[in-house]
A and B are shown apart, each in its own frame.
Chain A
């Protein structure tokens, strides 16, 4: 055995290297659900990741609760006040909704606010390193989560699912340099593509590229997903413009986008399935 290895060492290593490259080339760039091998590894590893993150959260919360009880009572009072205010507002808005429905039916406009079927999920592991921003969540095909579904958090888009195993899924945030989201500015309707960039990733920012050179986009504009994507549904908010620069070619502009969601400190997310559009009542 050892002798065989010594004799054919170079050949064996060469063959393995070529095999890996071939697999990479054939499997590259496909958004498929996990293969058997991946599922097995996921089945072994994800429960422990879940556990470790759980323990971490528990320690965090216990430490916090012991530390600032007074702050919590204050916060509670504040929240109660806020709640009362919001309830009041909600009642008012409900009336608006009713009025809106009545008026729309008068005008025969079928107005649809997109409301998708959603599943709550948690992040259980993150990609180490500074280059990419992918993470693992604790829902998989068992919970009808599958590839190319969208992840959102209160405020806006977080990313999409790359691959789903039985009990876990691999997701990519919009800060990842491999991610690209067709987007537009709400105010002016200028189109562009929101891309991640590793130089901005660690500040939690991303970049909107390919904006027309004469576009009227300005700092503070809200950016939402455009209808040009077949993965992201239109109209989900992404973030706001913090800076606009002209590209070196002078023909296009790019904007630095600050996402509404704090993508550096995410915990709980929603997975939405864009194929199950539920009409708003």
Chain B
């Protein structure tokens, strides 16, 4: 059940993100909803499941938009692994931490892409990057995280309840 719902969630997000959601972009910046889902999932379920979801999401992006296999896979994989590590240390009901983590992850994600551009194609315009990409992405991501995290949180609660019944945990 959880597997099916998670796969469906990732695929639906991928389809929407590459088609409809692009119209909501402000100055061609729209938060990476796939990253928000991956990070939220890692925060809710820990690094192991987060890693799997992250790698799968990254694989989708690699297959459809990457020129080399593995770049996005590794990036999403690493980000979900490190956010998943901190899962035990916070209350899930609190919204502040997911917002913080998602914004931070989005920042790191953009920064790595900037680094790749800088190292591989010497296209490094740090001022343009910070003002036009880095800051807007962080702010916009923080805003969009709230509804997405709410949905994922509700879904997770529901699934956990079902799992508890299934395995007679109480």
Contacts and interface: CB of A to CB of B under 8 A. Distances in A.
B63 A52 contact: no
Contacts, number: 107
Contacts of A237: none
Interface in A1-38: 5, 13, 16-17, 20-21, 23-24, 27-29, 34, 37-38
- Residue of A37, A52, A53, A128 with most chain B CB atoms under a 10 A cut-off: A128
B18 A125 contact: yes
Contacts of B89: none
B64 to A, nearest CB: 6
Interface stretch (B19-27, B96-104, B151-159): B19-27
Interface stretch (B70-78, B142-150, B162-170): B70-78
Given A44-B11, A52-B15, A199-B128, A130 B70 contact: no
A131 interface: yes
A196 to B, nearest CB: 9
* Contact-residue size bin, chain A (C-beta under 8 Å from the other chain): 35 or more
A45 B60 contact: yes
Contacts of B69: 23-24, 27-28
Given A127-B65, A136-B18, A5 B48 contact: yes
B15 A49 contact: yes
A130 B133 contact: yes
A56 interface: yes
B70 to A, nearest CB: 3
A252 to B, nearest CB: 14
Interface of B: 11, 14-23, 27-30, 32, 34, 48, 51, 55, 59-60, 63-65, 67-71, 73-74, 77-78, 81, 113, 117, 121, 123, 125, 128, 132-133
19 contacts: A17-B77, A17-B78, A20-B73, A41-B64, A45-B60, A52-B16, A52-B19, A52-B20, A53-B19, A125-B15, A126-B22, A128-B18, A128-B21, A128-B22, A131-B113, A134-B67, A178-B121, A198-B117, A199-B123
Given A16-B55, A197-B123, 14 more contacts: A13-B81, A17-B78, A21-B70, A23-B70, A38-B63, A48-B11, A52-B20, A130-B29, A136-B18, A136-B64, A136-B65, A170-B64, A178-B67, A199-B132
